[in-house]
Structure 1
Amino acid sequence: MFWKIVLNDFKRKKVITLSVFILMTMAVILGSSATNIIANLIQSITDLKEKASPADIAQMHAGEYSQASLDRFTEQNQEHIAMQETMTLLPIEGFDIQYGDNKTFGGTIQDIFFVVQNKKFDFLLDLNNEKLEVGEGEVAVPIHFMVEHDLQVGDTLTVATQEYTKAFTISDYVRDYEMNAAIASSKRFVVNPADYEGMLEKQTGTLEYIIEFKLKENGSAQAVQTAYIEAGLPANGPTVGAMVFMLFNAMSDVAIAMVIVVIGSLLIVISAFCIKLTFLATMDEDLREIGVMKAMGLCKRDIRGVYLTKYRVMALAAGLLGYLLSFGAVQLFSGNMRLFLSSDLTGNLKFVLSLVAPLLVYLMIMLYCKKVLKRIDAITAVQALRSDIRENGKSKNYRFSLMNNKFLGTNLSMALRDVAVRFKLYRLLLGIFIVSTFIVILPLNVYNTMNSPDFSTYMGIGKSDMRIDVRKTKTIVQDFQRLQEELAHDSDIHTFAAYVTCYYQIQNTEGAWDYVLLETGDFSVFPLQYLQGRAPMREGEIALSYANASADGLHKNIGDEVVIKVGGVDTRLKVCGIYQDITNGGKTAKAHSSLGLNEDSILWYIVNIDVVPGVEIREKMDYYQKSYATAQVNDIREYTRQTLGNLIDQMGKVVLFGGLVAILIVVLITALFLKMLLSKDMSQIAIMRSIGLNTKTIRGHYMTGTITILVLGIIVGVIASHYLGGLIVSMAMSSMGVASMQLIEVPWQTWLVCPLILLVVVGLTVSVCCRVTVEDDISVVLRS
């Protein structure tokens, strides 16, 4: 009999049951998809790392070096170091590489290096994660360039410098564990050793090197780095560790997984609200059945068991279905992972981790059901049989009394009064509308923020109309000086500022010397947004990135001093500001131009430019690109896109997915709520119709009440996404060097398009649901 009651309940409430089931399933799909992404990410990075065998410590260096000294150092530190290898990097400027119809890589922000395959470790792989073998006359191009420039196997890539010209055939694509990500500013093209030797003979730029160390299982990276610096070995460049490589590879997929987890968690909350709505509707319809069961002598536990079993079955079925469907849904977000990390995502880890979501949803739903079903205990058999109970067991008289209101009118006043009188009931719908709005707006704001020129402030770059990077050539100093002189005499240029980036030695918390990427110039012209303090304005001041100033870095606050070597002399600088930066591992610094340069370790020259209002920026960019062929001329939006392109594209998919989920939620919940509300108001609706009110007026009554709650929910949801959204995103990105992110809102999207879509969807849902109930035969209701 027990299971028969449960089965009959399913049959009688098909629409309500289906709505709750769909929401539970969606929550499981999203939860399982997020854990599936994380599992695939762990597997793919592990597989790529195993096959590539990357360095545990990679020291970039430009200039002369002694391999014999490195060999002695390796031998002296055998307790930590397993292997050492030095890779020679041959720099080729983007404008010297041609492809397709006379196109070049001139607009890229990446440093391009031609290399040969390593022999010991740090292997460059193909798309099957196998060690690349490149024949003579062939080249393997990084995946980043394949995506950005639509390069195909078999295409021709021509290297044409003043001293060297050769056409290569693209034979494969490169998976590079250390430089895969767009945010890594360098990319390696692989050629045959014979071709490489020919290129070296005609080299035009300064060779650079990656001095790499593979540590033993119990080797200490910190001990090796300290010993390396104390030994005075080549270090004219950044030092990058294994953790940074892993972070760069995982960044975009981890960010997507976090957003999906947030949406999935909100869906679980919505499912709980939905169950409460369902229970309230069920209570009104099943009061007599509850009374009969109590009169028959069934105990409270058995009666609760009837309803609890229903939700237990639904949660189990939704968990199983959502678990299975999640493996299809995750394909939508795994394209980036399959391309950059591993084509094979068939490991078993995801099947285990993905079980966490359905189990969690089941436990949370069951705990909430038990809490809600305790209300049955307060109902006596007499009350149930008399059907004079309402929500919480309290008798309330919901009248639709006419109210004279010269401002709103009778019908509108009645609808708003109904919302006010029964707000405790409507607040469930309000909560769901708030959460649904949050699900739509948060991913949209994150996408707009990353796609905005203002995002440059999180990359340690001041906002400007144009950015010119002067590349390393024999005439770089002269080009840099000539560019500034021309800008000073260009009437179309409103403001410009030049910046020079070098590597400086900086004393860490333990008194040892590390290297920091430090930019000098006038930072008052194109200011950043500082977390604390301000830009360095005068001699003796320095601003640190958040990652550099934190406890994991130099552990400095405003007013503290740091010691930097400038030209071999220890210089004390006072920390005047802390800013955010996700580039270069997040550890950078800025100082006034009076600091002086380390001439032997200059990395790049940059000029930021604002044009006079009314001047066409694109035309000005084209002019300076033609005038300075060796330079890179970009606007800030393009610079951001090239740096975070994969992450921005992935976030765009989340925006679309979150919008579809929110619309489905709104339709299901609105229909479910109206089902409950119309069931409660059946007798009042019959009376209203009997005194002459037409169905259009009655539908308008419920339409007004629901739309009022929706508008309130949209307002609260948008405000919550503005304040809470930034907090959530900041927590997720704190490990990347961003401690406080202010999300950018596009008003016409946030306050017009998204609300309008929700209003249309809710309006149609209310209209359909009310038409079915309001047009029923009133004689049946009046007789009852």
Structure 2
Amino acid sequence: MYLRILKKDLKRKRAMNVILLVFIILASMFMSSGVSNIITVLTALDSYFEMADVPDYWVVSENKSSGKDIYGTLENASAIDEFRIEEYVRVSQSNITRVGKPLNDSNANQILALQSDRDMGMNYFLDDESILRSVPKGEIYATRFIEKSMGLKVGDKITVEIEGVSHEFTFAGSFRDAVCGTELIGIKRFIMNSEEFDEYMSDETMKNMYGGKFLYIHTADLDKTLSQIADVSDSFTFASGTDTLSQAYIFNMIIMGLILAVSLILIIISFAVLRFTIAFTLSEEFREIGVMKAIGIRNIKIRGLYLTKYFAISVVGAALGLMLSYPFGKMLISYSSESIIIDSSNNGFVNIACAVLTAAVILLFCLSCTGRVSKMSPIDAVRNGQTGERFRKKGVMSLGKSRLGATAFLAANDIVSSPKRYAVIAFTFFLCMSLLIMLSNVTASLKSGKLLKYFGNADCHAVVDIGDEAVKFMTVDGHEKVKKYLDDMEQTLAENDMPAECMTEYYIYTMIRYGEQESKTAILQGTGTTMDMYEYLEGTPPQNSDEIAMTTLLAKKLGAEIGDTVIVSYPTGETAEFIITALYQAMVNQGISVRVHTDCDINYIAASGSPGTLIKFTDDPNDKEVLSRIEKIEELYPKLSSAKTAGETVKDNTGVGDAIDAVKKMSAVLTVILAALITVLMARSFIAKEQAEIALMKAIGIRNTKIYGQYTLRFFIAAATAVLLAELLGMPITKLCFDPIFRTMGLEMGVEYMRNPVEIYAVFPVIVLTATAVSAFLTSLYTRKIKSSDTASIE
């Protein structure tokens, strides 16, 4: 008997059962892929570092600023379990050409380092995730993000010429570099054959001036190790532990965080809709339940019948969802795996467990909902599911007092009369819309020039890379040379009707001490700037050469405050005392940096680099004019490696703007699909339940078009309410989700988020409301099948 009843039920309510099956499939797919992705995301970086054999401490040391016996010190440090050394030679963009032309690097302000395949200090992974063991003569590999920024393709011919030594290489592909694999580290590595590398290093001047070492230290006691190598640490250009290194992947982790958020939202939506659907479907089956009770079938048997039905549907849906979860999960993860190897191969059991859990949760929903069966009686089948008693008004609206038309009134009254029913719709649309707005805000921010100040730079219109000049300024009198260069550029620009202020920054990595506490830090010094061009959180900008501004993160680390005196030890062996006058925030060196006065006398021989020349046009041109001037600057300075707007510079520095944009587009597509499915499901359910009311409206002469309008309008109102709420809460939600991420980079006050008004106030609302309205209207056409005579029918 059970099988006969189930078979007839599945046939008779085919549309509702199919819709329910679709949402069970979606719930299983979202649950399985979402939980699997969450586990993968939370463990991805640690797993990647372990596969790559990332050291506990990583150091960059330049030969020109290191006159100490680093090797001997490391050899004698008992706390070090193992250390490895890779030699490199630093080159500029102009040293590398393709078919006789400079490479067009979209982020040319970073360090280019050539190194050999001999004694590699860690595992470098090729595109097929195999480990790079050696490089044949005549071939060269590059860090993965170089391939994109320089426009390289496998098979391209590259010429590397340094101090008269020249070789032509075939670009063999890219590799993932766990230590220097992100734009924030700012080091682009090329790996070549050791014999060819030795030819470049044979020149002693080149080796001493542009050579350096990457040191990889493995230790179980990092604090003891640091104390044992303290006498050479001031010669380190840059040093990082795994915790600090993890922060360099912060923007990559933002992508993973977004994938996690998308997965969670999809899981919440799917289960919220499922809960409503199961409860609603059972509530409308008063006839069947009443008849079964009338013929003597007990409550437990009736509940068992529905549990059997939903068990069958949930098993089929969960199985199909499980199969779809694998490609769907991989599609989501693919957006965040550009720089990181993500191993999700061991999550198969998680997918299966989540699919089983989905089916179990659905049965629990069903068990909870079927509890109402015991309260139903055979008379419910006669009274159309109602007891006939009501002690309150059905709605809060009055037709006589309303100025709305009949269609608008009926739609609005339906919503206020059954707020729980439409709250599910509004809630799901609110989640989808909030996700889109959040993604839009983050994408706009990571592509905006306003974010440039958080990289320790003054506000500007354009950034140009000065190519070989950057290295030439890293000398004893480099500061004076930089001033002259900027003055000459300002004069040239003014002569070509582009009045501007030209500025630059130079970074020097060194040690800073306050009392018993010390830390590795980056010194920032601007040239061509004034100290009030930068943003400060507390205090006053440095006014004299013995005053300094410090990041809040470094101040906390040292236990220092405004007014305290700190000691800076330069890589050259010199020391200097500075008074802290202000606190600021910046992402340079993972939030650990200080800013000295522009007149401070610093030996630039220990400088590590510059973000380029910042150009601020004094006549405030519009965006179109800025682009035109950038083209003109490229003509005036043909040796420039790159020239771009401030927004393009931020986009290249973060390296994830395009990936977030891709996630945003994917989320927009999912939102349209979900909006359509949810609307169809709800509308079809309401039509089935309200058959008698629709028949009555037709009996009193209300036309089909009015009924279509009523059903479409009430879904539109619910969706519009959700969209409006999401618009109001979009920025607070963005801050809530992303401020903690930026705080890990030293931005304790968060960032100034940008908006894309066209997307937020036009594109996203239009696609959500259009998908809802079209789906509701098309579903409402089903009411044509209902006749006025159906008012007297309980079938």
Please classify the TM superposition score into its range, dividing by the shorter chain length: 0.7 to 0.9
Q: Cα distance 1:429–1:191, how it changes in 2: closer, same or farther (>3 A)?
A: closer
Q: CA deviation at 1:475?
A: 4.8
Alignment of 1:259-658 (within 5 A): 259-279=258-278, 281-295=280-294, 302-335=301-334, 340-342=339-341, 348-355=345-352, 357-358=354-355, 361-362=358-359, 365=362, 368-383=365-380, 385-389=382-386, 397=394, 402-403=399-400, 408-470=404-466, 471-475=469-473, 477=478, 479-489=481-491, 490-491=493-494, 492-507=498-513, 511-521=516-526, 522=529, 526-528=533-535, 532-533=537-538, 536-539=541-544, 542-545=548-551, 547-548=553-554, 553-554=557-558, 563-565=567-569, 568-569=574-575, 571-574=577-580, 576-581=582-587, 583-593=588-598, 596-605=601-610, 606-611=612-617, 612-614=619-621, 616-625=625-634, 626-627=636-637, 629=639, 633-645=643-655, 647-658=656-667
Q: Is the 8 A contact 1:524 1:535 kept in 2?
A: no
CA deviations on 1:169-201 (whole Å, 9 max, x unpaired) are 324433333212233201121222332233234
Q: Is the 8 A contact 1:504 1:518 kept in 2?
A: yes
Q: Distance in 2 between matches of 1:301 and 1:534?
A: 74
Q: Cα distance 1:124–1:479, how it changes in 2: closer, same or farther (>3 A)?
A: farther
Q: Calculate the TM-score normalised by the size of structure 1.
A: 0.86
In the alignment, is residue 712 of structure 1 matched against residue 721 of structure 2?
yes
Q: Cα distance 1:562–1:293, how it changes in 2: closer, same or farther (>3 A)?
A: farther
Q: Cα distance 1:603–1:68, how it changes in 2: closer, same or farther (>3 A)?
A: closer
Q: Distance in 2 between matches of 1:124 and 1:279?
A: 52
Amino acid at match of 1:564: V
Q: CA deviation at 1:167?
A: 2.3
Q: Is the 8 A contact 1:275 1:369 kept in 2?
A: no
Number of residue equivalences: 769
Which residue of the other structure, out of 657, 676, 686, is the alignment partner of 2:685? 676
Q: Cα distance 1:497–1:304, how it changes in 2: closer, same or farther (>3 A)?
A: farther
CA deviations on 1:230-287 (whole Å, 9 max, x unpaired) are x245524110223444554x65654333223322322333233323432454245311
Aligned-partner SS, 2:681: helix
Partner of 2:223: 222
Q: Is the 8 A contact 2:518 2:558 kept in 1?
A: no
Q: Cα distance 1:240–1:390, how it changes in 2: closer, same or farther (>3 A)?
A: farther
Partner of 1:139: 140
Q: Is the 8 A contact 1:506 1:563 kept in 2?
A: yes
Aligned-partner SS, 1:597: coil
Partner of 1:63: 63
Partner of 1:754: 764
Q: Is the 8 A contact 1:447 1:652 kept in 2?
A: yes
Partner of 1:25: 25
Q: Cα distance 1:65–1:679, how it changes in 2: closer, same or farther (>3 A)?
A: closer
Q: Calculate the TM-score normalised by the size of structure 2.
A: 0.85
Q: Distance in 1 between matches of 2:489 and 2:387?
A: 77
Partner of 2:192: 191
Aligned-partner SS, 1:472: helix
Q: Distance in 1 between matches of 2:790 and 2:65?
A: 96
Q: Cα distance 1:64–1:99, how it changes in 2: closer, same or farther (>3 A)?
A: closer
Which residue of the other structure, out of 771, 778, 782, is the alignment partner of 1:772? 782
Unmatched tracts of structure 2, length 5 or more: none
Amino acid at match of 1:773: T
Q: CA deviation at 1:747?
A: 1.2
Q: Distance in 1 between matches of 2:389 and 2:551?
A: 55
Amino acid at match of 1:702: Y
Amino acid at match of 2:488: E
CA deviations on 1:452-508 (whole Å, 9 max, x unpaired) are 223334444444211245553335636522232135544423444443322231227
Aligned-partner SS, 1:329: helix
Aligned-partner SS, 1:467: strand
Partner of 2:131: 130
Aligned-partner SS, 2:164: coil
Q: Is the 8 A contact 1:564 1:573 kept in 2?
A: no
Amino acid at match of 1:174: F
Q: Which moved more, 1:736-745 or 1:438-447?
A: 736-745
Q: Is the 8 A contact 1:545 1:588 kept in 2?
A: yes
Amino acid at match of 1:746: N
Q: CA deviation at 1:698?
A: 1.8
In the alignment, is residue 77 of structure 1 matched against residue 82 of structure 2?
no
Q: Which moved more, 1:185-194 or 1:496-505?
A: 496-505
Q: Is the 8 A contact 1:497 1:608 kept in 2?
A: yes
Partner of 1:156: 157
Aligned-partner SS, 1:757: helix
Q: Distance in 1 between matches of 2:254 and 2:178?
A: 19
Q: Which moved more, 1:432-441 or 1:29-38?
A: 29-38
Q: Distance in 1 between matches of 2:366 and 2:389?
A: 15
Q: Is the 8 A contact 2:54 2:179 kept in 1?
A: yes
Q: Distance in 1 between matches of 2:309 and 2:470?
A: 70
Q: Cα distance 1:75–1:59, how it changes in 2: closer, same or farther (>3 A)?
A: same
Q: Cα distance 1:280–1:679, how it changes in 2: closer, same or farther (>3 A)?
A: farther
Amino acid at match of 1:483: Y
Aligned-partner SS, 1:603: coil
Amino acid at match of 2:289: I
Amino acid at match of 2:765: P
Partner of 2:701: 692
Q: Is the 8 A contact 2:695 2:790 kept in 1?
A: no
Partner of 2:114: 114
Q: Is the 8 A contact 1:57 1:241 kept in 2?
A: yes
Q: Cα distance 1:66–1:395, how it changes in 2: closer, same or farther (>3 A)?
A: closer
Q: Is the 8 A contact 1:541 1:576 kept in 2?
A: no
Q: Percent identity?
A: 18
Q: Is the 8 A contact 1:41 1:337 kept in 2?
A: no
Q: Cα distance 1:7–1:578, how it changes in 2: closer, same or farther (>3 A)?
A: farther
Q: CA deviation at 1:516?
A: 0.1
Q: Distance in 2 between matches of 1:431 and 1:745?
A: 23
Amino acid at match of 2:441: N
Q: Distance in 2 between matches of 1:392 and 1:21?
A: 35
Amino acid at match of 1:183: L
CA deviations on 1:611-635 (whole Å, 9 max, x unpaired) are 1233732344345454383665432
Q: CA deviation at 1:151?
A: 2.3
Q: Distance in 2 between matches of 1:559 and 1:773?
A: 77
Q: CA deviation at 1:744?
A: 2.7
Q: Cα distance 1:652–1:83, how it changes in 2: closer, same or farther (>3 A)?
A: same
Q: Distance in 2 between matches of 1:334 and 1:388?
A: 48
Q: Is the 8 A contact 2:104 2:642 kept in 1?
A: no
Alignment of 1:32-51 (within 5 A): 32-37=32-37, 49=49
Q: CA deviation at 1:723?
A: 1.3
Q: What is the alpha-carbon root mean square deviation over aligned residues?
A: 3.8
